[in-house]
Amino acid sequence: MKDLRWRAALVLAVFVVALVYLLPTLGKELPEWWVKFFPDKKINLGLDLQGGMHLVLEVETDKAVENTVERLAQEMKSELGT
C-alpha cells in the first residue's frame, strides 16, 4: 500500500508540473501573481505543430521498375539453375 501511495504522489507531482508549464500556452495573458512564481514563457511549437512543414515523398518509377525486373531475372536464373 505504501508503494501505491508513493507512485500516486509521483504521478500527481508530474501532472502538476506539466500543467504549470502548459498553462502559459493556453491563455493570452497571465495574472501578475502567476508571473512572479511560475514560468511565463510559452512552449515553442516546432514547424510540424505550427503547420509550416510540407513533405512530399515520390517514387522514382523508372528506377523501381528496373530494380524489380532485375530482381525477377535473378530469381528466375536461380530457379532454373543457370
The predicted-structure confidence for 18-50, as pLDDT tens digits, reads as follows: 887 777 666 667 666 666 666 556 667 777 777
Could you tell me the residue range of the domain that residue 73 belongs to? 2-80
Helix (H) / strand (E) containing 33: helix 32-37
Q: Identify which of 37, 4, 2, 38 has the alpha carbon closest to the alpha carbon of residue 19.
A: 38
What pTM was computed for the model? 0.39
Average pLDDT, the chain: 81
pLDDT, greater one: 80 or 51: 80
For residue 46, give Cα distances in angstroms to 11, 31, 42: 27, 26, 12
For residue 44, report the phi and psi dihedrals to the nearest 5 degrees: -75, 125
The structural domain count of the chain equals: 1
